[in-house]
Amino acid sequence: MALKKRLLILGLIPLILSTIIIGYIVSQLISLQNSANEDVQVLLETETLRGDLIVAKQALSNYSVNSTAENKQMVEGMLEETSTQISVLKKLLTVKNQQETLSSIETKFTDLKTASDAALSDMNKAEIKRQSIRISGVLNDMYLLTKQTNDWYQNLLKDNKRQIEFIVWVAVIGFILTIILSMAASILLTQRIVKPLNIMVDNAEKMANGDLTISVDSVKEKNSKFEVDKLQTAFHHMVLNLRSTVQSVHEIGSNVEKFTKDVRSQMTSLAESSNQVAISTEELAKGSQSISEDIQSTAALMSVMGDDFAQNVRQSGESSASSKVALDSVEHGRASLNKQQQFAEMIAESSSSIMDSIESFAQYTGEIEHASHAVREIADQTNLLALNAAIEAARAGDAGKGFAVVAQEVRKLAEDSSVATERIGNMVGNIKNGIHSIMEASQKGKSLSTQQVDSMSVTEHAFEDISGNVSTIYENLVQLENGMLASNERTNQVIAAIENISAITEETAAGTEEISSSTEEQLRYFEQMNEQVGKLNGMTAEMKKELERFTL
């Protein structure tokens, strides 16, 4: 449980108990007050009824002596008011003996009121006087009722007194229990808070004095939301972490002390080695300078040799290029002859195909001629049919006029078809003459194509011989050029290698000088590091001295 909730409960316990007690007291007091109001009302109404009866008696007595209208009105009013008061009191009474007495009063008063009303109507003074005397009997019952109500009220007062005493005792006992429960809850809740805090304070004082051997109990509830439990858990982890930290620092201090001793011995060895390295690098710088001068002279000679190789390479490249051009020309001529031969063969094949097509076309013209004859015959037949249709239309008279027009149009179409077939016949004749001329020309072209193919075959064999000789020359020149290029490349590689060696030797000389200066700087740094290691050793000793304050 969280600390906030515990404190809230600690504050709410007495508040809730006090509220319950106060609520009980208030409810009882309200009940007593309501009861007292009702009881007092009964007494007041009883006294009022008694007063009304006395006034009514006096009014009757006055009227019997002085029978005026005002006295009569007063008597009637008092009788009516007394009757009303009896009804009101009857509603308030709850005790049986009081109800019985009031019933007797009501009966007697009802008879008295009836007789009085009759006497008032008859103006019978003697009867009115007698009724005023009868009220004394009602007053006797009223006296009994008053005594009963007073006794009842006294009993109620005693009961109320006992009830008030009970409420007082309940309040006193409740407040005492509230104090006891609040103290018990406070003790339980504060003990759960204060006890762990006191333990942590004692442990913290021991830790402040350097005692890390303390044992801190872990909280039983691992996931407790109580802030004190969280604080105790955090304190437990802090002690463990501090203990492990001090142990680690102690071990690190020992390791650092050992390390500083090793470093100082190694730094001494490095200083001696650096002196030897400085001497060696100085000698190496002198040798590198001498080598660099020799390499530079060799590089100059190789550069001249490289220029000569480059001139030879250029000349061999030009010869190779010329032979390449000649070989390409031969190849182009040979390829051109091959293409011309292919074209000649294709022309010969095309001539044969043309002749075949022309022969087929000649057959088609014959078929076209036959078709035109058939169309002409159909046109003649159509003309005859149109003529017959015109005759039949003339016979039909007016009914055949439309058919006559159609027959006329059909005859025109037949005539047009005849004209068209004549034209087709003429065109077919012309086509036959053209086909004959084309066949003769194609036959001549085919013979010329055959002669051209034979001539190209002879020319191709001559180009093959030329191409073989030029190819041999070109291959020899290419091999010579490749050899010259390879020699030139090797020469360039040798020159580049010599230049690289020269640059490396110069860099080596510069590097040896830098190494020499760096070695001197390292010697200074080694001396400074020896001083710093000495300071570190002193700091380690001081840290160990401080760690001796802790007891693990």
Q: Is residue 474 part of a domain?
A: yes
Decide if pLDDT at 54 tops 70: yes
- Read off the CATH number of the domain in which 157 is found: 1.20.120
> Distance between CA 99 and CA 93 in Å, rounded?
6
Q: Is residue 272 part of a domain?
A: no
Q: Is residue 155 located within the same domain as residue 300?
A: no
Q: Which domain-ending residue is among 183, 218, 252?
A: 183
| Tally of structural domains, the chain | 2
Q: Are 214 and 203 in contact (CB under 8 A)?
A: yes
Token duo for residue 401 = 């006029």
Q: Is residue 535 part of a domain?
A: no
At residue 209, the 3 state secondary structure works out as coil
Give pLDDT, residue 258: 75
User: Residue-wise over 89-98: b if at least 16 C-beta within 10 A, else e?
Assistant: beebbeeeeb
CA atoms within 13 A on the CB side of 233: 12
Beta bridge partners of 211: 551
Per-residue HEC secondary structure of 448-512 comes to HHHHHHHHHHHHHHHHHHHHHHHHHHHHHHHHHHHHHHHHHHHHHHHHHHHHHHHHHHHHHHHHH
Q: Is residue 484 part of a domain?
A: yes
Q: Is residue 130 part of a domain?
A: yes
Give pLDDT, residue 337: 64
Radius of gyration in angstroms for the set of CA atoms belonging to the chain, rounded to a whole number = 76
Q: Is residue 93 part of a domain?
A: yes
Q: Which domain-ending residue is among 152, 183, 214?
A: 183
Q: What domain range includes position 174?
A: 3-183
Beta bridge partners of 551: 211
Q: Are 512 and 279 in contact (CB under 8 A)?
A: no
Q: Is residue 299 located within the same domain as residue 168?
A: no
pLDDT in tens, 310-349: 676 676 667 667 667 766 776 776 677 677 767 767 766 7
Q: Which domain-ending residue is among 125, 154, 183?
A: 183
- Read off the CATH number of the domain in which 515 is found: 1.10.287
pLDDT in tens, 133-169: 888 888 898 889 889 888 888 888 888 788 888 888 8
Which pLDDT band, with edges at 50, 70 and 90, does 501 fall under?
Answer: low
To the nearest 10 degrees (0 to 180), the angle between helices 125-208 and 96-122 is 150
Decide if pLDDT at 5 tops 70: no
pLDDT in tens, 287-309: 656 666 766 676 666 666 667 65
Q: Is residue 157 part of a domain?
A: yes
Most confident of the following: 140-144, 350-354, 404-408, 431-435:
140-144
Decide if pLDDT at 95 tops 80: yes
H-run or E-run covering 238: helix 227-396
Q: Is residue 115 part of a domain?
A: yes
- Type of residue found at 451: Q
Cα–Cα distance list, 485 to 141, 301, 303, 548 (Å)? 163, 19, 16, 83
Token duo for residue 5 = 């909730």
Give pLDDT, residue 552: 59
> Distance between CA 39 and CA 327 in Å, rounded?
151
Q: Is residue 174 located within the same domain as residue 298?
A: no
Pick from 262, 285, 261: nearest CA to 519: 285
DSSP state at residue 95: S
Q: Is residue 375 located within the same domain as residue 505?
A: yes
Which pLDDT band, with edges at 50, 70 and 90, does 228 fall under?
Answer: low
Q: Are 182 and 13 in contact (CB under 8 A)?
A: yes
Work out the average pLDDT over 349-367: 70
Pick from 317, 255, 240, 276: nearest CA to 482: 317
Overall residue count recorded for the chain in this entry: 552
